[in-house]
Amino acid sequence: MKVNNTSANQLPVCHYTHDEDVILAEWLTKGCKTHNKNYVENGVKCVCDHLTSFVILMKPEKNENNILSLLTQVGLSISIVFLIITLVTICVFKDLRNSERYKILRHLVIALLCVNCFFLLLEVDVEKESIACSVLAGFLHYSLLAAFSWMLIISTDLYMKIKRPFADHSKRFTYSRFFGWTGPAIVVAVTAGITRKNYASDECWLDTESGTIWSFIPIVCLTNLIVIVQLCVIGYVVFKKSKIPNQSEEEMQMFIRIRNMFHGILLLAPAVGLSWIFGVIVIFCDWKVVEYIYVVLNSMQGFFVWLSQCAFSNEVRQGYRKRVSNLVNDDSSVATVISVTYNRNRVVIEHM
């Protein structure tokens, strides 16, 4: 339906009524969704779960959307900066590059960086029902599945190290890369192939009407459930092992490493996975409070990742201390060479 009456501060909204007297009727919006993006060119689409008398009324544009958009943009920008800092930190220090834990974490950070960048692109005015909109939805779908896959890989890796502490776990990383990056691509390709034109919604995200969203929600819930169960098991084993007396030095070092990794994942899991529980609630319930919580938590993922994996990490702090001590030693060595050269030149001049 085309809308001719336009205003810079008003938006068209679908309304309905049960009253026979249309003039004195009370027009409601419950049960109806209005697709009014670029409504001047594309018109307005009303999607309701009932059949009554419908009309499109112009209502003042709410500031809530602007506030949410501003929060999203600021939060995503901060998140991207901290994700880049985390990625650079992992790549700079040799000990972190060679660590199995940080090898897996590097892939998670890359996936989250893609998620944040694609979410930021959603704030750009992309034409609905266009190829660009569908492509953006596909990339966002893929990067989110990849992030959840690598979160599951991190949790499973620690779980296996708890169950078999002295086994060789390096070979599993090869299969993890296939699962973390290829698995989500298969899901996205199959979903897009089945739904085709109904893959993306007007908001450049998975369409709810065609059921495309169900290729994402069960994976989110199942991944969170598995991670929570694994963390509970890991926490129980760590607690039990801390009570065992007369442990060997090798067992103690292994226990300390596993405990540190457990603390890191315990802080990482809510940042990556549990925030999307609010996202699932937002899809089915129009609760503004939950929407604000979801936007804040989801847009600050990068900060939480940096906080849990860098700021609170003993390995990262040791890496920075070594780097600073090496710089200090290099400066002192240069100062010593300059001093010796100066003294030698002075002796030569005095001798002459």
Q: Say how far apart CA 252 and CA 142 lie, in whole Å.
A: 40
CA distance 234 to 158: 8
Total-model pTM: 0.76
- pLDDT, tens digit, 9 for 90 and up, residues 184-213: 999 999 999 998 888 888 778 888 878 888
Q: How much is the pLDDT for 231?
A: 86
The strand pair at 32-35 and 45-48 is best described as antiparallel
Distance from the Cα of residue 110 to its chain's centroid:
10
More confident residue, 116 or 65: 116
Can you name the CATH fold of 64-312? Rhopdopsin 7-helix transmembrane proteins (1.20.1070)
- Give mean pLDDT, residues 160-174: 73
**Residue ranges with strand state E in the chain:** 10-17, 32-35, 45-48, 53-60
The pLDDT tens digits of the residues spanning 92-135 come to 888 888 888 888 899 999 999 999 999 888 877 666 667 888 89
Q: What is the pLDDT of residue 281?
A: 77
Does 176 have pLDDT greater than 70? yes
Model confidence over 229-251: pLDDT tens digits? 988 888 888 777 777 776 676 66
Are 101 and 308 in contact by the 8 Å Cβ rule? The answer is: no
